[in-house]
Structures are given as C-alpha cells and as structure tokens.
A and B are shown apart, each in its own frame.
Chain A
Amino acid sequence: MSVDFWLGVGVTAGVYAIFVLGLQLNVGFTGLLNLGQAGFMGIGAYAMGMLVTDAGWSIFAAMPAAVLITVAAGLLVGLSSLRLRSDYFAIATIAFAEIVRYTFQNADFAGGNQGIIGYDQEWRDIAGWLLRQLIHTGLGGDTQLPLFIVVWLCFGLCLAGLRLLQASPWGRVLRAIREDEEAAAALGKNVLSYKLQSLAIAAALAAIAGFFLALNVTYLYPSEFDPTFTFLGYAILVLGGFARYSGVALGAVLFWSVVEGLRFLQLPLSAGQLGSLRFVLIGLILIVLSMLRPQGLLGRKAEMQLSR
C-alpha cells in the first residue's frame, strides 16, 4: 500500500466528488432526478480532448470552451425534457447519456473505440514542474500528488461557490421547487428557468470532473462514460447525505477507500470474484446505512422526511 496508490484513490474520489456536487445540486436541492450526468461528463471531456488534439488549442482555452459546450448540451436536454414529469425526465436523461456514449463509440470524429489520446502534454509539463517544487520543499515526490492537489483544490472552489449560491435567495427558490413546484410557480417563480439553471450548473461540474478524469487516465475511451459512473455517483450521494454539499466529499472518500481498500483482503478468491465482492460489500453498507441513517452520514433528516 504505497502512498501513490492512496493518492490515486484520492484523485478518483476527487473526480467523483466534483461530479456528485452536480448531482447534489440537482437531486438534493432542486428535486431533479438527473441520471445523465455521465453523458455531460463525456461531452466535457471529449470536447476538451478534441479541441486540443484536432483543433490544436491550448488545454487552458479548451477547458472553458468545453464547459460552455457542456452547458449548452445541458440546456438542450433540459429544454426538451424538463417539462416531463420527474420520473420521465430521469429516463430521458439516461437515454441522453447513452446516446452520447454510443456516438463516441461509433463516430469517426470522436475516435470511435480507439478513443482520443495526446491532449495532456501541457498538463504533464505543469505537473512535472509542480512535482519538482514539491520535492524541493520536501513535501514528497509521489507522481500522483500534483493531480491530487489540483483536483481537491478545484473541489474546494466548487464547494465554496455552490454553498454561496445555496445560501442566496436563488438557492431558496431551488429548494422551494424541490418541495412543491406548483406552489413556487403560484408565488411568481419561473420553475422551468430555475430547473434549467440547476441542470446547466450540474453539467458544468460534470465537465470539470471529466477534465480531471481525462488527465488521470491519459486517454479518452467511450466506456469510461457509461451509466455506471452516474450510479456510483448516486451511491456516493446517498452515503454522504442528502441536501448537504460537504457530505459529497465524505461520501466519495469513504466509498473509494472501501472499494479500493478491499483489494487487499486476503481471501481464496479469483481477482474477478474479489472485484465483485467489493461492490457486494458496498451494497451491504448502503443497505445498513439506509436502515440506521436514511438521511446519509451528513444529510439533513428533516429535509428528507417532512411531508407536505
């Protein structure tokens, strides 16, 4: 169990944490069951990768452009399906995410099953420089450290921004929509507009998570963006707790520590069996948690259980 291994786990947890912040905004604070978050992440990551490798952009110009492209995709999905009842909206979003993935898999422009590679040279230069500084100051020389630092720094910024928004009158309207959208409309709130804004911000967060995923795995491949990513995100959301942004970080770290830590179990099982067992155990933990603490580790019980 090297430091680098656990830093790698930390990077994965950080990517998921940023990803799940968007789910928390949608599910926990707006009442939108967004199951297409992996699709938004794919669009963000692929847009960034293609702008760098095909169009020759700097990665630092490609990232904000990719965020805008993903936000546009979020608005498009929202405009076409947010008028649906909430359960149908959930189905529409998962369909959207699968359309995105199959498009990447089959379209020439996205590299098909070959994927996209070679967009991260600028990042490697920076990571190398950062690593030299870290070694110089005696903070360690583990190769995953630069990405770990940047991912969690970014998570902290996103968390601070979301909390600021949530504490504002804007965040208050979102929660009212979560509680009762007709009553919110009767008080003059434009429900569709707020739902679109919520979805657009979640899409932007998914895109940012996608950038770090891309930098972590060093090449983009369609199956990285399959719906499992969204479902694991929901497991983290449930674990960390409903309607509490800080729960997302705790949930992500705990989830990935358990999943990766169980690798070191000494059992007479094959690697494949052990891999499955890890998720069986995660499932059990979630079931026990939902019995003992249905609101999640840091969730707000009242906001989950109070009825109209």
Chain B
Amino acid sequence: MSASHPPADSILTIDDLHKNFGGLRAVAGVGFSVRRGSLTALIGPNGAGKTTLFDLVTGFAKPDRGTIRFEGRAIAGLPPHRVARLGLVRTFQLTRVFAAMTVLENMMLAPRGQPGESLLHMLAPKGSDRRSEAAVRERALALLQHFNLREKSGDYAGTLSGGQRKLLELARVLMTSPHMVLLDEPMAGVNRVLGRRLLDYVEELRRTEDVTFLFVEHDMDVVMTRADHVVVMAEGAVIAADKPDLVRINPRVIDAYLGRAH
C-alpha cells in the first residue's frame, strides 16, 4: 500500500509510518491517504493498531519513522495542540467530556484562537473580545439546539448520559471548525437509534461544511453502508484500502477478520 503518489485531492497522507512499544510493533509501515470531503472508515481486528495510528496522527504519540502530511504540511511529531490548531481534531474511544464544567462551557471552550484565552491579551482587553465571546456563545447554543442538547446547556457535563456525552463530544469538535475529524469508535456504547443519528449528523456535516471524516468502527453494517472508502488494518499494517463493496470481497480482509480457521 504505497502512498508515494497520493491523489491530488487527498487531505491526509500517511507514508511508511512505524511505531514500536518495546518489542511490540504496533504500527509497522502504514501508508494510505484520505480524500478531502470523504467519509473514510478505518477497520481491523482488535490490536490492529487503529488507535495507535490515531494517536500518531494527532500528536499523542511520536512515530519512530515515516511521514504524515495534513493539507500538505508535515505534521509527524507535532504536539497535540499544534495538530488540533491546524484543523485536524479527534475524539477518544472513551468519551471525554469536561465533567465539572457545564455543557455550554464544554462547547465554548473549543473554538480555536479565542482572544480571551491569552493572558497577555487580557492585560489590554478590547471591546471586540466581548463580541467574540458572544458570537461563540451564540454558535454553541445553535449547535446544541441542533444536537438536541440545548435544554442541557446549563447542566454539568458529568450529569449527561453516555449517549448525550457522545453527542456533546461531536458537537464540541465541530465548535473548533475542523477541516478533518478523527472519530474513534463513535458508536461504541451508544444505542443503535442514537448511533444512527450520530452518523446522520456526520454525513450532514460532510455535505454542508465539507468536513472530512476518518472513523474507526466495528459494526460492519455501518461501515459498508455509510463509508465511501474503507482502509483495513491488521497487525500494524494496511492490508486493503478500497471502496466498501470491493473491500468486502477482498480475500486478505476476509482472512484477517474470520481468522485462518475458515
């Protein structure tokens, strides 16, 4: 799976990426690219290296070797906050909301480059800061409305149900105005109805905001019906990257999933 000639419209290009933990080769020579505006699924058996790959791309782990290019910029080894500021934002497998902050505060925290977040700036505040804060609040409330969380805006995020937390996490990521979002098992621990709604939001955002999504998912029905491109990992390497219907019949993929027993 060489990515040395990525398609011109790729937003994320990974090439020959390696990461070892002690003797364990978690990611061993991964390369693929994600097309801008696509909804790409990353699948593979447990231990295939999917979450490690997410960590490498978003700066939570440093690769031993290899390149990652996001919108043409080399980002391998950048710290997480620098990656996020470029517009490449992730969610976590275990949902992470700021429990002792209100739902609205969770949302308002997220936008990049808020003037009031700088201490130096606070020494000489401008009138525009208040307007910026008001605009952030308005946008947060509108998004919460859209995600059916508006009436929860004053509650502590720690009082939300698991599904509501997932929704909040997705809404919060959108507050950063991302170019690309990495979702680590967005439907895990969520009932099917809510899971579908979550994916509907994702598809809508892709259409209306031109956000690119790369998501890890175990539910094959969801992957095959929703994704327009599927990357399959096994034992730290990419074994297939293709359209869903072609991945489904790829013998290497069937092997990796069903084991060598069949």
The answer to whether B81 touches A306 (Cβ under 8 A) is no
The answer to whether B133 touches A169 (Cβ under 8 A) is yes
A168: which of B84, B100, B122, B172 is its contact (CB, 8 Å)? B122
Q: Which residues of A contact B (CB under 8 A)?
A: 165, 168-170, 172-173, 175-176, 178-180, 182-191, 197, 300, 302-304, 306-308
The answer to whether A187 touches B172 (Cβ under 8 A) is yes
The answer to whether A185 touches B98 (Cβ under 8 A) is no
**In the complex, chain B residues whose CB is within 8 Å of the CB of A191:** 81
Q: Shortest distance in angstroms between B246's beta carbon and chain A's nearest beta carbon?
A: 33
The answer to whether A169 touches B116 (Cβ under 8 A) is yes
The answer to whether A185 touches B84 (Cβ under 8 A) is yes
Q: Shortest distance in angstroms between B157's beta carbon and chain A's nearest beta carbon?
A: 8
B100: which of A170, A173, A183, A303 is its contact (CB, 8 Å)? A303
Closest to B79 in A: A185
The answer to whether B84 touches A186 (Cβ under 8 A) is yes
Complex interface residues of chain B between 108 and 122 (CB less than 8 A to chain A)? 108-110, 112, 114-119, 122
A179: which of B85, B89, B100, B119 is its contact (CB, 8 Å)? B100
Closest to B90 in A: A186
Q: How far is the CA of A189 from the CA of B84 in the complex (A)?
A: 8
**In the complex, chain A residues whose CB is within 8 Å of the CB of B156:** 302, 306
Q: A169-B133, A172-B108, A186-B58 are in contact. Are A307 and B96 (CB under 8 A)?
A: no
Closest to A189 in B: B81
The answer to whether A179 touches B99 (Cβ under 8 A) is yes
The answer to whether B159 touches A306 (Cβ under 8 A) is yes
Is B29 part of the binding interface, using a Cβ–Cβ cutoff of 8 Å?
A: no
**In the complex, chain A residues whose CB is within 8 Å of the CB of B147:** none
Is B201 part of the binding interface, using a Cβ–Cβ cutoff of 8 Å?
A: no
Is B183 part of the binding interface, using a Cβ–Cβ cutoff of 8 Å?
A: no
The answer to whether A169 touches B114 (Cβ under 8 A) is yes
**In the complex, chain A residues whose CB is within 8 Å of the CB of B116:** 168-170
Count chain B residues whose beta carbon lies closer than 8 angstroms to a beta carbon of A: 38
Known: A186-B80, A188-B176, A300-B100. 11 other contacts (CB 8 A): A173-B109, A179-B98, A182-B60, A182-B96, A183-B98, A184-B109, A185-B84, A186-B90, A186-B92, A187-B173, A188-B84
The answer to whether B117 touches A183 (Cβ under 8 A) is no
Q: A168-B122, A169-B133, A176-B109 are in contact. Are A187 and B176 (CB under 8 A)?
A: yes
Closest to A173 in B: B117
Give a binary string over B68-83; 1 marks a CB under 8 Å from any A CB, 0 the rest.
Answer: 0000000000011100
The answer to whether B109 touches A187 (Cβ under 8 A) is yes
Q: Shortest distance in angstroms between B178's beta carbon and chain A's nearest beta carbon?
A: 10
The answer to whether A188 touches B85 (Cβ under 8 A) is yes
Is B105 part of the binding interface, using a Cβ–Cβ cutoff of 8 Å?
A: yes
Q: A186-B84, A187-B84, A188-B84 are in contact. Are A172 and B109 (CB under 8 A)?
A: yes
The answer to whether A183 touches B96 (Cβ under 8 A) is yes
The answer to whether A180 touches B96 (Cβ under 8 A) is yes
A-B contact pairs, 20 of them (CB 8 A): A169-B109, A169-B116, A170-B122, A172-B109, A173-B109, A175-B105, A179-B100, A182-B80, A182-B96, A184-B98, A184-B109, A185-B79, A185-B84, A186-B80, A186-B90, A190-B79, A306-B99, A306-B100, A306-B156, A308-B158
